[in-house]
């Protein structure tokens, strides 16, 4: 009974959305449609629209421009459209390569004949970018070819089929597979399975199911398969400055600017797609440096596969908003490649666009001038005009054993999907004592710290001089700094003997850093200035002492380093070297 309910639930949900969502979506500026077919002739598109309207609600037909006509469902709110798309695909009601279309993609309405006042207006043609040149496709020739193709008998169809190359036959199998009619290997051999899939496709499209596609039917099949590329306006671009030529979704992106090593093609519509062309002179160090830098950018989400070889790399990043793919390679002292950024939830179309870009990528002579974009606004938060990914929170920590275990504050590890040390090393929470405000981190791979904290075994003296080592400005300066002060009391204001009060003006990023005495021994760990919802006065700080730290480490199975033998007060330079070696930036990422 549960299975029966589950089987019925999806169609009922789709129908509920389809009958209720359009009324509200039509009055919204954010309304979207689901494009389910594109045909190069009005007659075919009208027949297709009538066929779908016989079994689905909210079917419309619109001119797409360039002699193409689309069949769509909607309009819907974006969230509802994604649900309807998922349900109808799962049921096999619409082709698997159906996708979300926007108002600007639709022109005059041809089905139903009585178009209402809310139908999209004819959009004004977008101005062509001054550079680089984009070679627009010639859809008029496609339409003329379609209109002059004669009907063929099965015998004529077989003769025309016999002239196809193996690659063309394989492409037909790929298209049949994408449409859900073929599930065997792509080998270019038209055996029993391929013939059956052709017959099924013909029947579904209203043709006589002969199992042999006529020339006109083969074109319809390939046009259907290529509809996602048509909707994205795929066109060849030759960027002479970058020395790159390839197919790009010119209907969604347009050239904006050069900022070495990128040529930026930014979004020009509602989809939000972006393309970057990568071009710079260099060697393996340049390539590997680019690989590392790209992964610090917002346009490259953290999740996803990535691979680096001797002279090339690929990076894919995914989150709930975008999917980003980058490829680059080194050849003849030039690093070239591209990045495609596409909205999440449009995977079928993204995959087709990416495949077309990869297949057409061509190196031309020349490379982008490294000084290109040098007059752009500079910022520590940007790399070549792209935003650097920023952590949710960064604090200080310090090494407490030779394998790289780190002590830090509890607040910096709360609610993190990912924790890093110095931005480059993954770490996990081994223990978190929120009562004391102490967290212990273990690096994913063993590290070799330059220095390890030696916990003091002596009781701190009132008014003795101390220094806190920390990333005062949460890593902006790139290295820890020392802040000097004194011990104001060996217990907290509420009498807690495990916490000392300091007369020291610390910054938020210093929290988690080691508190050192004049000999370099660690007396404690600095706590955040805002505790229990209360903000401390300027110049007042607290630190959990060495005894409490030692207890927490022992409970977590971490053996702290012994206090080094005292040789008197350290000179400032020696203190700075010791503190810098043991202090690490701890970052929490969402």
Q: Which pLDDT value is given to residue 317?
A: 94
498-513 residue pLDDT tens: 889 999 988 889 999 9
Cβ–Cβ under 8 Å, residues 562 and 547: no
pLDDT grade, residue 167 (50/70/90)?
very high
CA angle 96, 98, 103 (to 5 degrees): 170
Calpha distance 564→456 (Å, rounded): 9
223-240 residue pLDDT tens: 888 888 888 889 999 999
Among 19-23, 113-117, 260-264, the range with the most confident prediction by mean pLDDT is: 260-264
Establish whether the linkage from the previous residue to 183 is cis, with ω within 30° of 0.
Answer: no
Q: Which pLDDT value is given to residue 375?
A: 67
- C-alpha 68: how far from chain center: 32
φ/ψ of 288, rounded to 5, equals -70, -35
| Structural domains in the chain plus CATH codes | 2-111 (3.30.70), 149-229 (no CATH), 234-387 (3.40.1000), 393-589 (2.40.10.120)
- Find residue 61's DSSP bridge partners: 71, 111
Mean pLDDT for the stretch of residues 172-199: 91
- pLDDT above 90 covers a percentage of the chain that reads 45
Establish whether the linkage from the previous residue to 231 is cis, with ω within 30° of 0.
Answer: no
The DSSP line for 378-425 is P-TTEETTEEBP--SEEEEEEE-STT--EEEEGGGGTT-SEEEETTTE
Token pair of 559, please?
A: 């053996």
**DSSP symbol at 451:** -
Q: Which pLDDT value is given to residue 141?
A: 33
Calpha distance 378→201 (Å, rounded): 56
Q: Using DSSP, state whether 79 is helix, strand or coil.
A: helix
Cβ–Cβ under 8 Å, residues 466 and 526: no
Is the pTM above the cut of 0.75? no
Calpha distance 225→474 (Å, rounded): 51
Mean pLDDT for the stretch of residues 134-149: 42
Q: Which pLDDT value is given to residue 423?
A: 78
Q: Which pLDDT value is given to residue 139?
A: 39
The sign of the torsion formed by the CA atoms of 206, 210, 214, 219 equals positive
CA distances, 232 to each of 5, 41, 226, 346, 390 (Å): 38, 19, 10, 12, 32
- C-alpha 562: how far from chain center: 45
The better pLDDT of the pair 106, 334 is held by 334
Range scoring the smallest mean pLDDT among 112-116, 282-286, 539-543: 112-116
Q: How many CA atoms lie within 13 A of 292 on its CB side?
A: 8
Calpha distance 355→351 (Å, rounded): 6
Q: Using DSSP, state whether 35 is helix, strand or coil.
A: strand
Cβ–Cβ under 8 Å, residues 99 and 252: no
Q: Which pLDDT value is given to residue 149?
A: 56
Q: Which pLDDT value is given to residue 533?
A: 56
Calpha distance 395→401 (Å, rounded): 19
φ/ψ of 320, rounded to 5, equals -80, 5
Q: Which pLDDT value is given to residue 381?
A: 59
Using CB atoms within 10 Å of the CB of residue 589, give its burial: 0 to 12 exposed, 13 to 18 middle, 19+ buried. middle
Mean pLDDT for the stretch of residues 113-123: 46
Token pair of 195, please?
A: 């013939």
Calpha distance 341→358 (Å, rounded): 14
Whether 142 shows a pLDDT value over 50: the answer reads no
Calpha distance 445→451 (Å, rounded): 17
Calpha distance 128→119 (Å, rounded): 26
Calpha distance 277→384 (Å, rounded): 12
- Find residue 317's DSSP bridge partners: 324
Mean pLDDT for the stretch of residues 78-92: 86
């Amino acid at each position: 009974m549960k299975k029966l309910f589950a089987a019925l639930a999806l169609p009922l949900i789709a129908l509920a959305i389809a009958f209720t969502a359009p009324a509200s979506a039509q009055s919204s500026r954010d309304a979207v449609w689901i494009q389910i077919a594109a045909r190069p002739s009005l007659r075919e598109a009208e027949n297709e629209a009538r066929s779908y309207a016989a079994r689905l609600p909210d079917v419309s037909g619109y001119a797409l421009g360039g002699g193409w006509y689309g069949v769509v469902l909607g309009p819907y709110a974006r969230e509802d459209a994604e649900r309807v798309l998922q349900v109808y695909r799962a049921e096999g009601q619409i082709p698997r390569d159906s996708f979300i279309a926007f108002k600007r993609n639709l022109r005059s309405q041809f089905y139903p004949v009585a178009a209402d006042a809310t139908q999209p207006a004819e959009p004004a043609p977008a101005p062509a970018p001054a550079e680089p040149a984009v070679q627009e496709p010639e859809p008029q020739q496609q339409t003329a070819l379609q209109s002059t193709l004669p009907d063929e008998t099965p015998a004529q169809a077989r003769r025309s089929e016999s002239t196809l190359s193996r690659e063309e036959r394989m492409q037909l199998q790929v298209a049949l597979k994408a449409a859900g009619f073929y599930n065997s290997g792509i080998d270019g051999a038209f055996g029993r399975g391929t013939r059956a899939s052709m017959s099924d496709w013909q029947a579904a499209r209203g043709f006589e199911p002969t199992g042999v596609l006529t020339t006109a039917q083969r074109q319809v099949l390939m046009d259907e398969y290529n509809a996602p590329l048509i909707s994205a306006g795929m066109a060849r671009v030759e960027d002479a400055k970058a020395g790159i030529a390839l197919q790009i979704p010119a209907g969604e992106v347009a050239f904006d600017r050069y900022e070495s090593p990128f040529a930026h093609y930014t979004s020009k519509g509602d989809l939000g797609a972006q393309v970057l062309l990568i071009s710079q002179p260099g060697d393996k160090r340049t390539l590997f440096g680019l690989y590392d830098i790209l992964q610090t950018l917002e346009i490259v989400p953290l999740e996803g596969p990535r691979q680096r070889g001797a002279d090339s790399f690929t990076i894919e990043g995914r989150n709930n908003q975008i999917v980003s793919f980058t490829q680059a390679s080194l050849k003849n002292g030039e690093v070239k490649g591209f990045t495609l950024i596409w909205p999440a939830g449009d995977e079928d179309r993204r995959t087709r666009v990416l495949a077309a870009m990869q297949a057409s990528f061509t190196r031309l002579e020349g490379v982008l001038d490294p000084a290109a974009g040098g007059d752009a606004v500079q910022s520590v938060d940007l790399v070549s005009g792209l935003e650097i990914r920023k952590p949710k929170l960064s604090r200080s920590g310090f090494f407490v054993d030779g394998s790289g275990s780190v002590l830090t504050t509890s607040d910096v590890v709360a609610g993190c999907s990912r924790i890093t040390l110095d931005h480059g090393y993954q770490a996990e929470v081994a223990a978190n004592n929120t009562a004391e405000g102490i967290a212990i981190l273990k690096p994913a791979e063993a590290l070799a710290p330059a220095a390890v904290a030696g916990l003091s075994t002596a009781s701190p003296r009132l008014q003795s001089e101390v220094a806190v080592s920390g990333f005062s400005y949460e890593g902006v300066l790139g290295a820890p700094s020392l802040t000097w002060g004194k011990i104001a009391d060996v217990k907290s204001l509420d009498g807690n003997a495990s916490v000392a009060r300091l007369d020291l003006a610390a910054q938020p990023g210093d929290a988690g850093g080691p508190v050192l005495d004049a000999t370099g021994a660690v007396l404690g760990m600095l706590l955040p200035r805002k505790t229990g919802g209360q903000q401390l006065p300027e110049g007042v700080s607290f630190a959990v002492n060495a005894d409490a730290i030692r207890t927490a480490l022992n409970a977590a199975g971490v053996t702290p380093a012994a206090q080094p033998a005292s040789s008197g007060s350290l000179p400032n330079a020696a203190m700075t070297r010791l503190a810098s070696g043991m202090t690490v930036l701890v970052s929490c990422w969402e």
